[in-house]
Amino acid sequence: MSLLKQIFTWWNGQTIGTRFHTWRFGTKVGQDEFGNVYYQGGGKDSEGRTRRWVIYNGYADASAIPPGWHGWMHHRTDVSPADESYKAREWEKAHRANPTGTSQAYRPPGSLAATGERPRVTGDYDAWTPGN
């Protein structure tokens, strides 16, 4: 089943094409605390920079890339987080995956997906009409 997943799905880790490209051209740069593995190599991108990619641990979700690795992936820095001794400052929050589409997503009052009752209309709103 794993081979079929790799052939027919792109959201479950890596596809056959990505596996081949990684095996043939990729140089492992490092791994983050979530198990995502980062590579570079295999030529240049459209702007002449070395290609960089990630093999996700699980579903392919770009919000699962921590801030340090995000900067490296987008060529904001040439030094990967694996090669530097990065210490988070006390005001920095820990990385949190994007909760959109999950039970942890934000649902404001009045939303159809929110629990409870919708707030009552107060009558302090007048709709705009042309010519007024």
Instruction: Output the pLDDT for position 46.
Output: 82
Could you report the per-residue pLDDT of 18-70, keeping only the tens digit for each?
A: 666 666 777 898 998 889 999 988 788 888 888 888 888 887 888 888 888 88
In the chain, what percentage of residues exceed pLDDT 70? 81
Measure the CA–CA gap between 115 and 84, rounded to whole angstroms.
46
Chain centroid, CA 36 distance in Å: 11
Could you report the per-residue pLDDT of 117-126, keeping only the tens digit for each?
A: 776 777 777 7
Measure the CA–CA gap between 97 and 80, rounded to whole angstroms.
21
* Residues 6+ away with beta carbon under 8 Å from 56: 13, 14, 36, 64
pTM > 0.75: no
CA atoms lying within 13 Å on the CB side of residue 39: 20
- Helix H segments across the chain? 2-8, 16-25, 67-73
* Confidence band for 14, pLDDT divided at 50, 70 and 90: low
Classify residue 42 by burial, with Cβ atoms within 10 Å: 0-12, 13-18, 19+. Answer: middle
